[in-house]
Amino acid sequence: MEESGGCCRCCFSFIFTLGLTALFLWLSLRTSNPTCSIQTFYAPALNQSLKARDNTTIYFLLKLDNGNKDKGIYYDNINLTVSYKTNVTPPIYINNLTIHSFYQGHNKKAKRNQSFVPDARFNWTAANQSVARNESVIFRVDLATAVRFKIIAWKTKRHRLVVGADVEINYEGAKKKKKGIKLSGGPKLLGFYSVQVGVLVNLLALLFLNYYW
């Protein structure tokens, strides 16, 4: 009986320790993709309140928000593709921009001002006519990069991040929405790390059973 009681206490202690270990690993490995958004977007050449609209540069502000409380993020080069959407043709590619790789600490926000001049395929006259008629003028911003998460003293492998959003322009050549426009479409990483933790816990349990039985 005494031997049986000792075995039960040992099993209970192991299960309790295993549970705490699994909880710690899950909290440590759980990650969230950064939130990417367009905060401002302005095309002076589409501003109908201006008499002279010869400035064909387009300006926008990209915000990257790392919501992880204790995990930094290493970004590879960030590729931004801007296109123009019409009702009669597929989206027209008008420019591509690159933000160089950088590191972002936990709970930190990064802002990157971007500007470009659309290539010759963009029809300013047609776009101005659409804005003047209060028709939808929509640009598309797509972001593609790879991120690695810094967890304590080590880095995860690279995870692909591909997101995008439409930006509708108003009568003054700025985005219609007052709030930031979130770029979406990327997969969440929580499930991946949960599977890793589950595999590790099962492996520890199997080793324990092999040792005592």
Q: What pLDDT, in 10s, does the model give residues 89-137?
A: 788 999 999 999 999 999 999 999 999 999 999 999 999 999 999 998 9
Cα gap 213→76, rounded to integer Å:
49
Cα gap 210→79, rounded to integer Å:
50
Question: Are the CB atoms for 94 and 80 separated by under 8 Å?
Answer: no
194 vs 65, residue with greater confidence: 65
User: What is the pLDDT, as a whole number, of residue 195?
Assistant: 46
User: What is the pLDDT, as a whole number, of residue 57?
Assistant: 97
Cα-to-chain-centroid distance, residue 36: 5
pLDDT class of 197 with cuts at 50, 70, 90: very low
Q: How far is CA 210 from CA 3, 204, 207, in A?
A: 19, 10, 5
206 vs 101, residue with greater confidence: 101
> Within a domain: residue 97?
yes
Number of residues written out for the chain: 213
> Within a domain: residue 37?
yes
Instruction: Find the CATH number of the domain harbouring 159.
Output: 2.60.40.10
Q: What are phi and psi of 153, to 5 degrees?
A: -115, 10
Tell me what the mean pLDDT of segment 61-80 comes to. Answer: 96
Number of compact structural domains in the chain: 1
> Within a domain: residue 201?
no
Token pair for 194: 């949960």
pLDDT class of 84 with cuts at 50, 70, 90: very high
Domain residues for the domain of 83 are 32-188
SS3 34: coil
> Within a domain: residue 116?
yes
Question: Of 99, 131, 102, 92, whose CA–CA distance to 114 is shortest?
Answer: 99
> Within a domain: residue 2?
no
Question: Are the CB atoms for 40 and 61 separated by under 8 Å?
Answer: yes
- DSSP structure class, residue 117: -
> Within a domain: residue 211?
no
Tell me what the mean pLDDT of segment 25-40 comes to. Answer: 80
Cα gap 72→31, rounded to integer Å:
10
> Within a domain: residue 148?
yes
Please, how many CA atoms are within 13 Å of residue 114, restricted to the half-sphere of its CB? 28
User: What is the pLDDT, as a whole number, of residue 87?
Assistant: 76
Question: Are the CB atoms for 118 and 56 separated by under 8 Å?
Answer: yes
Cα gap 91→156, rounded to integer Å:
35
Give residue-wise pLDDT tens across range 142-185.
Answer: 999 999 999 888 899 999 999 999 999 999 999 999 999 999 98
38 vs 199, residue with greater confidence: 38
Tell me what the mean pLDDT of segment 176-203 comes to. Answer: 65
Asked whether the predicted pLDDT for residue 81 surpasses 70, the reply is yes
Cα gap 141→58, rounded to integer Å:
12
SS3 203: helix
> Within a domain: residue 90?
yes
pLDDT class of 39 with cuts at 50, 70, 90: very high
H or E stretch covering 19: helix 2-29
User: What is the pLDDT, as a whole number, of residue 152?
Assistant: 82
Give residue-wise pLDDT tens across range 8-32.
Answer: 656 656 555 655 554 455 455 568 9
